[in-house]
Structure 1
Amino acid sequence: MPARNDLITAPIASTLLAFALPTLASSVLQSANGSLATIWVGQLIGPDAVAATTNGNLVMFLMTAFVFGFGMAGTILVGQSFGRGDLDAARRVVGTAVGTFVPVALTLAVVGWFLAPHVLSLLGTDPSITPLARAFLKITFLALPAILMMTMLMMTLRGSGDAITPLIFMVLAVILDVALNPVFIQGLGPAPEMGIGGSAFAMAIANYTALVAMLLYIYARDLPLRLRGAELAYLRPDLSILALMLRKGLPMGIQMVVVSGSMLAMMRLVNRQGVDTTAAFGATQQLWTYVQMPAMALGAAVSAMAAQNIGAGRWDRVGQITRVGIFYNIALTGGLVVLLVLADRQAMQIFLGSGSTAVEIAERIALLATWGFIPFGVTMVLFATIRANGQVIWPLIILFVSMFPVRLGFAYGLQGALGADAIWLSFPAGMVATLAMAALLYRFGNWRQANDMQVAPERPPEAQPSAAALYTEAGPPGAPTGGRCLHHDEIEAAQL
């Protein structure tokens, strides 16, 4: 069996970067896949079809946001289990996650297929594109189980220290999706001509194929999180583990709702500025998607690495991981910010055209607001470390305060004095406020003692505790952990 990343004893700087880069590549691929699929739909069907796919993509975003929080909880639980050398506990977490979300995802797919028209009505879909949107959304719901399970499994694999396997199968899903879009949209070869539904069908085939291939790969390579024999009983959800995932995952999922709600409120302000400003802001958002990717990837890497070290009782390394993550974020995000500011006109013209009056507006937005992603990146690292020990409520409170009272208060309150610039400056204002509060929480908060996600030491089978007893209060930094860390050769031996 090939060696995996040792997140507990290996050099921090090189290991963190090596772990973050595959996650970053996965994020870039996901965004590029969405862009390419939109291009196929726009070129082969038309702009109405592009508008129709927006409804399906919004539903997918909300569903993925729902599973994101639970995936993060699974990442932390698996990471702490690995850090303590308790492979059995990690597998119990995966079994409960899969056993819970397979029936939930299948139910959502069936219900969504029949309720698609009502969902579109709730979204306020324009009647002129409702038939197209319905055709796309119904098949999108069929793809939902594969997408949600892919998301969950990839996040738990990263918790175990494996960032390569998720990347491999993200590449597979993207290649299949991009290649199959024109096949099913136009009915090339033996494929049926499905129009806009063909784009969703291509997405479904790509994700189901990648999911099955990833499961086969996990078992063929005997990766640590596979379930065999008596372990298959772990697929029956353990209520104590599920309750813990709900308690910790729900606040992290709500954070996505908070961010979305804040952006909807901001869009009301933006739309009041006119069509050109709305177009300029849309183009800027496309570029911001890529600017924030290093922060997101490093945040995920820091969370997994910190969780394993917390589980192993290596609090001396947790602080170092945080500092290295902050350094990398400033370097990578800062570099992208500088690049965007220097090449903003050329970048905006890609989306707006060289003769559009919206280009100058977009340049102004980028100049005033893009630098805020540097403090945003630092915040992502601080929050990732804090969440790795189970503290999820305070990050949610901080995010709510910075998104609504701070950001919206700045935008609305100063618009009379600053005009539209108040909207653009509110973005870095909110990000700086988030960083200030996150730094105070990291430095003075009790998150180091507030863990209820740490896994107890592995015991002989005859002395195994109930699942409810696996999760104990963590001691403060420097307290005895009562366990030990298994090195890779020991972990591999435990699987034989």
Structure 2
Amino acid sequence: MKRNLPETDTNGALPEQSKEHPAAKKKTDVLLDLIRDGRPMTLRQQLRLTVELSVPAIIAQLSSIIMQYIDAAMVGRIGAEASASIGLVSTTTWLFWGLCTAAATGFSVQVAHKVGAGDLKGARMILLQSLAGTLVFSLLLAILGASISSSLPAWLGGDVSIRRDASIYFFIFSIFLPVLQMIFLAGGMLRCSGNMRIPSLLGVIMCVLDVVFNFFLIFPTRGCSIAGMQFTIPGAGLGVSGAALGTAAAETVVASVLLWYLLTRSEKLSCHIRESHFRLKADTFRKALRIGFPMGIEHVVICGAQILTTVIVAPLGVFAIAANSFAITAESLCYMPGYGIADAATTLVGQSIGAGRKKLARSFAHITVLMGMAIMGVMGILMYLFAPQIIGMMTPVEEIRQLGVMALRIEAFAEPMFAASIVAYGVFVGAADTLVPCLMNLFSIWAVRLTLAAWLAPTLGLQGVWIAMCVELCFRGFIFLVRLKRGRWLKCDKT
């Protein structure tokens, strides 16, 4: 294997990153250097690096879903209608989230390949171009979202009683999409460069800030008694609007810190003054489009399927809508570790392929997928056992609790195979192989899940919808494992 030479500046000197003594580097960075330098890695080193990258990524993913859990739990205290108003538009918010993620991934995968090849200057140039491209993209999405917010709840078949709150919630979410886009971009860039710690830490901080802002914005001013002492807690009493504003405020703080760190403190991607003048290159955007466009289309079609699922659930009543939303949010606590490991897989596979080490990329693929299946299998068992407590924390309404527990216990059986599809997808993204996996996802959801849901819902209600989801996730995991084993994804790495 040809050894990658370190990057030099215009005077032929080594960059500041290369001057650092190996003993001063963190253990994770030392192991990542083994990939970039073409040196052999033992299985133990591969496992250790996978764990060290996965743990912070899992924490980041969990903090993200915990923030949604907090929103749902706090709003759930207001009443079933408030919960249903957020649940009604939740699939549409995921659609816009997915589009922002796809836009960021189109650039961050290129950065992973550049870092793996030792071309840090090229990675920084891609970063600067991505800031301009994704900002414009997210502004257009924000305009689109704001323009449809007033009509969306009616399109989704929501009850008249929840349409106003649902519309306001989605409007606030939409106008803050550029902020969310910067979080996805900055976090993705840091992860693809090998820095999982900072996005993870700031994800936790965002979760804490969300609690604080929600506490004062959702509920009205109220009295509180602690140890016999009376206190008055101020509150804006904004309800559903307060939940949206609290989340937006937390995202704004974290986006600002992430961008500051990425551009000024990141070891590999911080941009120097001499690099501030750069030209937009069509080739970079073409590559981003080739990687991100299939993902964007996938999110549109998949979330379209999820929206259609919402339409199927909506006639079942307010309790069913709220229970469906709570169950989806609660299940996220189970499968978000899979997405964290998938982030690590994208970084490891992307840098291995950038370094020209396909055998190592395959090894990391197998390690991460097996790890994801094991962890999510355990999480599935815990979800089944503690479903009443999980749903009970989100709503005091007994009818919603019973439906939510039923949904979680059905879904628990699908978690290991769901993990296989999640982590394998992260592997394929690291190899810039997005088109075929996206088509696989689309076929699985539309041909299996929706067909079964439409067939079972009229007779089994919400239970039928979740049985359809469980069957589809098992099928999806199987076809992703087949593609992983065949190895054709390794031939799609030319970005």
Do they superpose with TM above 0.5? yes
Distance 2:400 2:268 in 1: 55
Which of 46, 62, 82 does residue 95 from structure 2 map onto?
Answer: 62
Aligned partners of 2:61 and 2:337 also within 8 Å? no
Shift in CA distance, 237/174, structure 1 to aligned 2, threshold 3 Å: farther
Aligned partners of 1:277 and 1:358 also within 8 Å? no
Distance 1:213 1:279 in 2: 34
Which of 230, 254, 258 does residue 274 from structure 2 map onto?
Answer: 230
Distance 2:161 2:185 in 1: 36
Identify the residue that residue 58 of structure 2 maps to in structure 1.
Answer: 24
The residue identity in structure 1 corresponding to 2:126 is V
1:41-440 matches, within 5 Å, as 41=75, 43=77, 48-54=81-87, 60-106=93-139, 108-109=141-142, 116-117=149-150, 128-129=161-162, 131-133=164-166, 135-185=168-218, 193=236, 195-196=238-239, 197-234=241-278, 236-267=279-310, 270=313, 281-351=324-394, 356=399, 359=402, 365-411=407-453, 423-440=465-482
Moved more, 60-69 or 411-420: 411-420
Identify the residue that residue 33 of structure 1 maps to in structure 2.
Answer: 67
Shift in CA distance, 283/50, structure 1 to aligned 2, threshold 3 Å: closer
Distance 1:276 1:121 in 2: 18
Moved more, 12-21 or 112-121: 112-121
Distance 1:220 1:390 in 2: 28
What is the DSSP-based 3-state SS (H/G/I as helix, E as strand, rest coil) of the residue aligned with 1:292? Answer: helix
Identify the residue that residue 7 of structure 1 maps to in structure 2.
Answer: 32
Shift in CA distance, 204/400, structure 1 to aligned 2, threshold 3 Å: closer
Shift in CA distance, 298/221, structure 1 to aligned 2, threshold 3 Å: same
Identify the residue that residue 483 of structure 2 maps to in structure 1.
Answer: 441
1:460-484 CA-to-partner distances (Å, cap 9, x unmatched) read xxxxxxxxxxxxxxxxxxxxxxxxx
Shift in CA distance, 418/445, structure 1 to aligned 2, threshold 3 Å: farther
What is the DSSP-based 3-state SS (H/G/I as helix, E as strand, rest coil) of the residue aligned with 2:356? Answer: coil
Gaps of 5+ in 1: 454-496
Q: CA deviation at 1:94?
A: 1.1
Aligned partners of 1:143 and 1:203 also within 8 Å? no
Q: CA deviation at 1:446?
A: 3.1
Q: CA deviation at 1:142?
A: 3.6
What is the DSSP-based 3-state SS (H/G/I as helix, E as strand, rest coil) of the residue aligned with 2:271? Answer: coil
What is the DSSP-based 3-state SS (H/G/I as helix, E as strand, rest coil) of the residue aligned with 2:270? Answer: coil
Aligned partners of 1:80 and 1:310 also within 8 Å? yes
Aligned partners of 2:156 and 2:307 also within 8 Å? no
Q: CA deviation at 1:111?
A: 6.7
Distance 2:289 2:192 in 1: 18
Aligned partners of 1:143 and 1:200 also within 8 Å? no
The residue identity in structure 2 corresponding to 1:387 is V
Aligned partners of 1:96 and 1:237 also within 8 Å? yes
Q: CA deviation at 1:178?
A: 1.9
Shift in CA distance, 397/149, structure 1 to aligned 2, threshold 3 Å: same
Aligned partners of 2:88 and 2:158 also within 8 Å? yes
1:107-164 CA-to-partner distances (Å, cap 9, x unmatched) read 5546755765355665566555555455544443442221111111101111111111
The residue identity in structure 2 corresponding to 1:386 is F
Aligned partners of 1:276 and 1:358 also within 8 Å? no
Distance 2:271 2:447 in 1: 47
Moved more, 264-273 or 397-406: 264-273
Aligned length: 450
Aligned partners of 1:187 and 1:194 also within 8 Å? yes
Normalised to the residue count of structure 2, the TM-score between the two structures is 0.78
Distance 2:177 2:65 in 1: 18
Shift in CA distance, 363/183, structure 1 to aligned 2, threshold 3 Å: closer
Distance 1:202 1:363 in 2: 28
Shift in CA distance, 416/224, structure 1 to aligned 2, threshold 3 Å: closer
Moved more, 296-305 or 414-423: 414-423
Shift in CA distance, 346/117, structure 1 to aligned 2, threshold 3 Å: closer
What is the DSSP-based 3-state SS (H/G/I as helix, E as strand, rest coil) of the residue aligned with 1:7? Answer: helix
Identify the residue that residue 4 of structure 2 maps to in structure 1.
Answer: none
Aligned partners of 2:66 and 2:333 also within 8 Å? no
Distance 1:259 1:29 in 2: 24
Q: Determine what percentage of the aligned residue pairs are the same residue.
A: 21
Aligned partners of 1:280 and 1:352 also within 8 Å? no
Q: CA deviation at 1:330?
A: 2.4
C-alpha RMSD over aligned residues: 3.6
Q: CA deviation at 1:199?
A: 3.9
